[in-house]
Amino acid sequence: MKEELSRYKELGDFLKTRRAKISPLQAGLPEGSRRRTPGLRREEVASLSGIGITWYTWLEQGREIQVSAQVLESLSRVFMLNEEETHHLYTLANQTLPTNIPPHKQVINPILQRILDSLTLSPSLILDTRWNVIAWNKAAKAALMDFETISIEDRNYIWLTFTNPQYKKMFDHWEQQAQGLIARFRAECGKYIEDPWVTEFVRKLKNESREFEQWWSMHNVENEKESYKIFNHPIAGKLTFEHTSFFVADNINLKLFINAPAPNTDTKMKIKNLIDAMPVSL
């Protein structure tokens, strides 16, 4: 209870400081006169964000009231919050960040791409909360798939697993792998159950894949965990990996998926040969 009260107070204090940073001019309002404090007035914030002045006042006072994602989105817009501030606001309000960012608008930090590239013999990917493939390294391109040849709309790990015939053939025990993937995807979707994208994506994939339709209805869930993965590459043959994943430090909506060559196998040598055989990019 004490922790919750601290959270509400922190939220109220955060809103006050953000309100003080936005000038009427920035918000599209006349400057006016006789402003005793810098920034916007509470009634101006309430009007601009489409919420009641009393309710917004309670928010700044740290009262125990639930805040919807729609209100947080409006406040983020009015206060012109950056990515870190927006994430902090949603965290304080006990709400999950929205996921309605199209994959082509996701830009990863160049440092993160260099880290990906440094994993020279471990096929690695960056995925968002919708399992869209945002970035990859040369090893992933050589051993898994050339994601550049896939349209951005279809560059989704779940979609590819169920609809791409060549990719499906690479999985050893595809049915087992695919069912586990659905269970992890459903567990992730539970955090964004109100996202219209989820409903539409599931509907489309049900139409494309009889297996997905059957297994999705089972409502199995599981968390992401370390595991062994075996791929049957059309050129290199059997590739065995130790798979793990990590949240990205500056954006927890992104995950780093790493497939490290399993010890006591020839996978590392095969990955190196595949990369050496790739055409040189101009």
Task: Give the pLDDT of residue 3.
Answer: 54
Q: Which fold has domain 2-92?
A: 434 Repressor (Amino-terminal Domain) (1.10.260)
Tokens of 241: 């990996």
* Cα–Cα dist 134/112, whole Å: 11
Which helix (DSSP H) or strand (DSSP E) does residue 264 occupy?
none
Q: Are 19 and 40 in contact (CB under 8 A)?
A: yes
Contact 275, 123 (CB under 8 A): no
pLDDT at 197: 82
According to the model, what pLDDT value does residue 190 have?
A: 74
Cα-Cα-Cα-Cα torsion 67, 71, 72, 78, nearest 10 degrees, comes to -140
pTM of the model: 0.68
Binning the chain into helix, strand and coil, the percentages to the nearest 5 are: 50, 15, 35
Rounded Cα–Cα distance for residues 180 and 235 (Å)? 26
Segments in the chain below pLDDT 50:
1, 104, 282
- How many Cα neighbours within 13 Å face the side chain of 141? 20
* Residue ranges per structural domain of the chain: 2-92, 103-276
In the numeric block, which tokens belong to residue 224?
């992401």
- In whole angstroms, give the CA distance from residue 147 to residue 158: 14
Report the pLDDT value the prediction gives residue 275, as an integer from 0 to 100. Answer: 96
One-letter amino acid identity for 63? R
19: three-class secondary structure by DSSP: helix
The fold for domain 103-276 equals Beta-Lactamase (3.30.450)
